[in-house]
Chain A
Amino acid sequence: MQETPINVQRGDAIERPVLSPRVDILESETEIVLCADLPGADEDAVRLSIERDTMLLEAATRLPAAEGEPLAVEFGDVLYRRAFLIPKTVDPDGISAELRNGVLRVRMPKNAQPRARRIEVQAIQ
């Protein structure tokens, strides 16, 4: 899979904490849906890559710049990173994702039928 670099305008030189984002994983008859809280991440700073049966989610936040004298600081820029095992019932080519209000929603359609493979047994002459 072709990799696009995570676009980080600032903070590249800063060592940022790596966080495992909180996720929900839901399943219906037709799809598996993964929802991840990624507050502060822009659409172009989210990367989903799939290699074999593993999907890697990475997202760099780009919080608005600090202003003035800090009174309270409870969160900062982070790199979200978490890997998931994709079940064999999922068609990797059909995976789609959208980011809305800081939540990434990854939809993974399930194959209509599991790919059954028939292996011919040949008689040895």
Chain B
Amino acid sequence: MVSPITERTLFGLGGLGRRMAHLFEEADAGATPFGSWTRLNAWDAGPNLVIRAEVPGLSERDIQLTIRQDVLTLSGERNVDPPEGYSAHRRERASTRFSRSVRLGVRVDADKAVAIVKNGILSVTLPKSAEQPPRQIPVKAAS
């Protein structure tokens, strides 16, 4: 289903999106198309990355967040099928199993990540990992 919302009408930030593309890119090939599950906002807030997603109808029990290296995956399932005894006149809301992965561009400390959900908006705060000091790799001459 095509959403009536387009990125252009909402923000007109195409240029910004392109500029940031290499910093924050879809990590999975079958990325969720824009306008369906689930839309994301993300910020680099200095020591933290902050990510927010629209997840209407989902509680904390319905959402899974995993971090593998620098890839964050948000997944879950929403069931809005009519209960027994109800017939549907109109169905625009999706019963969906969704998954979206994004490459964060930096390593984060998954143990200190905080995620809360309120009013159908998921907010995730991911503290960046401490910088690894650069390492010298000695080069040996072949004998």
Contacts and interface: CB of A to CB of B under 8 A. Distances in A.
Interface of A: 17, 19-20, 22-29, 33, 35, 37-42, 63-64, 66-76, 78, 99, 101-103
Interface in B12-62: 13, 16-17, 20, 23-24, 34, 39-46, 48-50, 52, 54-59
Given A26-B88, A73-B16, A75-B41, 16 more contacts: A19-B4, A23-B90, A23-B92, A26-B83, A26-B89, A29-B85, A35-B93, A39-B54, A67-B50, A69-B43, A71-B43, A74-B39, A76-B11, A76-B41, A101-B55, A103-B57
A14 to B, nearest CB: 12
B9 interface: yes
A74 to B, nearest CB: 4
A39 B5 CA distance: 14
Contact of A67 (B4, B43, B58, B105): B43
B89 A37 contact: no
